[in-house]
Chains A and B, each alone.
Chain A
Amino acid sequence: MTAFVLLGSLFLFIAMGVPVAYAMGIAALVGAMWIDIPLEAVMLKISDGVSKFSLLAIPFFVLAGAIMAEGGMARRLVAFASVMVGFIRGGLSLVNVLASSLFGCISGSSVADTSSIGTVMIPQMERAGYPRIFAVNVTITGSVQAILIPPSHNAVIYSLAAGGSISIASLFLAGVFPGLLLGLSLVVLCLVLAHKNGYPKGKVVPLPQALRAAGEALWGLITMVIILGGILSGVFTATESAAVACVYAFLVTMLVYRDYRWRDLPLLIHRTVKTVAMVMILIAFASGFGYIMALMQLPAHVTQFFLTLSDNKYVILFLINIMLLVLGCLMDMAPLILICTPILLPVVTSLGIDPVHFGMIMLINLGIGLVTPPVGATLFVGCAVGKVTMEQVARTIWPFYIAMIIVLALVTYVPAVSLWFPSLFDF
């Protein structure tokens, strides 16, 4: 009954259109009153939720990504990707996927990736003779790589939702191969579709131009070296590396690229403040919600429930995948990570599944949710940038969904895809 009160009030307020963060806050208060916990304690937990140094990595990664995106990084990465794969049949679709992989190394956000890469690539692909809807489908599914490839701020959220016991560095490393695998599956699909539909071939870029494009893109890609290199060498913590990456991104944008005007910076900060605050307040209220959930022993009850269904971990993972895919279609990624992780993590760990591996499973599931109707932030942005309707996308995107589901299955049932790379660094 207590669990019903907590979860029932959460879903009721979410369905009423109350912002998810505040719905979690209200549900926590309702739950606290139900089990007679002082509301002051809930307020304490809400504040404690954001009083963690590791959490600061989120605003810094978002800010670094925003600076790079506004500073013309997407255009440079597209130019560099064109050098690499533009000359192949269907080359521009491959350029789109590769640019997303590279941009993911900087932004860590699928939505930012779609708006930045899509603005450059969708018109370019259409001019070259690709159907616009195909360009939109490639852009939005390609952008899901950003959620997996480090630095993913969703990986930081998962680490926090798991109680901070999972190292952010191990999650970053674990995301490399699933991200690349997703990119590879989309590349294969694009090649097949390009040959089947006769999409155009690009030209080989002359060497001097290719070197110039590589040089310009390199400045941005060093951001990833700072982040991963700093963390793995032990020079920085994840939060410090994110802050240093911000300063570096700012210096490269303002002093090297010089595409951005100083007077526009307040607007960039304004947008970043809004983007970051909606994630941070989610974390704050999720902390209060998680506290009440733990007092009600909800995760233990859910674990028991799942184990009554089956004690086969593959069956449980299959059921969890279905559940996350459905939830991902209905709700945004960050709130789902914060709500589902404390509930599902005890279930999977009781079956011997590595929490880092489960993190990757969750990120891919919810990443697919970002590009599925009816609620998909990346899908909405892709439709707006590509000027197509959601129905058009829904009718044509199926081959891309199949490719993503295959990758999800591989990541779910072959733990080495996620865990092999971190194991090289003793994580």
Chain B
Amino acid sequence: MKAAYAKAMDALYLLCVSIAGCSLVVMTVIIPWGVYRRYWLNSAAAWPEPASVLLVILFTFLAAAACYRAGVHISVVLFTDALPSSLRRVVGLLSDLAMALLSLFMVIWGIQLVDTTWNQVIAEFPFLSVGITYLPIPVSGALTLMFIVERLWIGPPSRTSFVYREPADIH
């Protein structure tokens, strides 16, 4: 059961970073494309800018959940490191529970926000609901919750996991 859950979290992590990575690449391509159209084709495109803003919201919230699993978020360990190991474990547990609580808030109030704005449309993309803009918040909250459950139940991914792979490792 534990192994299956960890495997599912591996797949979710991969999905998060893949979508975030693709968003980053697409943003990197469409903005210069907008510049190219403006100066070389003399026909300014209105969509690259709002499309990039939508992508960066998706990028931020999905990748932030993945960052929790990879343990790369900026945190201050100065005070917890000074604690005796038993107390450190308790504080670590409380810290994860606080994160879980925030994630739960993100799910509940994020869904409410999506619901409230679902019937409005984005001016530049009339076929898209404004609710889409806020959807990454509850999704990120739900993903982070699942990663927190993994951490509390199974522990963080093993040090050899692909989650920690760096470009330098392959040279």
CB within 8 Å of B: which residues of A? 13-22, 25-26, 29, 39-40, 42-44, 46-47, 50-53, 55-56, 59-60, 63, 70, 235-236, 239-240, 243-244, 246-247, 264, 266-278, 280-282, 284, 330-332, 334-335, 374-375
Q: Name the residue of chain B whose CB is nearest to the CB of A270.
A: B17
Instruction: Give 10 A-B contacts (CB < 8 Å), ordered by A residue.
Output: A29-B105, A56-B56, A59-B24, A235-B39, A273-B59, A276-B59, A277-B66, A280-B59, A281-B64, A284-B64
CA distance A122 to B109 in the complex (A): 51
**How would residues 97 to 124 of chain B score, 1 for a CB under 8 Å from any chain A CB and 0 otherwise?**
0110110011001101100100000000
A282 to chain B, nearest CB (A): 7
- The answer to whether A17 touches B80 (Cβ under 8 A) is yes
CA distance A70 to B168 in the complex (A): 8
A40 CB contact (under 8 Å) in B64, B92, B113, B133: B113
A376 to chain B, nearest CB (A): 11
Measured as residues with beta carbon below 8 angstroms from the partner, the interface class of chain B is 35 or more
Q: Which A residues are CB-close (under 8 A) to B63?
A: 273-274, 276-277, 280-281
Cross-chain pair count, CB within 8 angstroms: 190
Q: Name the residue of chain B whose CB is nearest to the CB of A14.
A: B76
Q: Name the residue of chain A whose CB is nearest to the CB of B72.
A: A274
Q: Which A residues are CB-close (under 8 A) to B76?
A: 14-15, 17, 20, 330-331, 375
Q: Which A residues are CB-close (under 8 A) to B66?
A: 273-274, 277
- The answer to whether A63 touches B24 (Cβ under 8 A) is yes
User: CB of B155 within 8 A of chain A?
Assistant: no
Chain B, interface SS category: helix
CA distance A246 to B165 in the complex (A): 23
Q: In the complex where A17-B77, A46-B137 touch, is A243 in contact with B105 (Cβ < 8 A)?
A: no
- The answer to whether A273 touches B17 (Cβ under 8 A) is yes
**How would residues 49 to 73 of chain B score, 1 for a CB under 8 Å from any chain A CB and 0 otherwise?**
1001100110111011011101011
**How would residues 141 to 171 of chain B score, 1 for a CB under 8 Å from any chain A CB and 0 otherwise?**
0000000000000000000000001110110
Q: Which B residues are CB-close (under 8 A) to A277?
A: 20, 59-60, 63-64, 66-67
- The answer to whether B20 touches A243 (Cβ under 8 A) is no
- The answer to whether A53 touches B49 (Cβ under 8 A) is yes
A72 to chain B, nearest CB (A): 10
Q: In the complex where A50-B60, A56-B56, A240-B34 touch, is A40 in contact with B112 (Cβ < 8 A)?
A: yes
B101 CB contact (under 8 Å) in A20, A26, A270: A26
- The answer to whether A19 touches B170 (Cβ under 8 A) is no
- The answer to whether B166 touches A51 (Cβ under 8 A) is no
Q: Which A residues are CB-close (under 8 A) to B95?
A: 13, 16-18
- The answer to whether A29 touches B102 (Cβ under 8 A) is yes
- The answer to whether A281 touches B67 (Cβ under 8 A) is yes
A-B pairs with the 9 shortest C-beta distances?
A: A277-B63, A19-B73, A281-B64, A243-B31, A280-B60, A269-B21, A17-B80, A15-B79, A39-B109
Q: Which B residues are CB-close (under 8 A) to A332?
A: 74
Q: Which B residues are CB-close (under 8 A) to A335?
A: 74
Q: Which B residues are CB-close (under 8 A) to A244?
A: 31-32, 35
- The answer to whether A20 touches B73 (Cβ under 8 A) is yes
A270 CB contact (under 8 Å) in B32, B53, B165: B165
- The answer to whether A247 touches B32 (Cβ under 8 A) is yes
User: CB of B75 within 8 A of chain A?
Assistant: yes
Most chain A CB neighbours (cut-off 10 Å) among B39, B110, B116 = B110
CA distance A22 to B71 in the complex (A): 13
- The answer to whether B99 touches A19 (Cβ under 8 A) is yes
CA distance A17 to B98 in the complex (A): 10
Q: Which B residues are CB-close (under 8 A) to A269?
A: 21, 24-25
User: CB of B91 within 8 A of chain A?
Assistant: yes
User: CB of B43 within 8 A of chain A?
Assistant: no
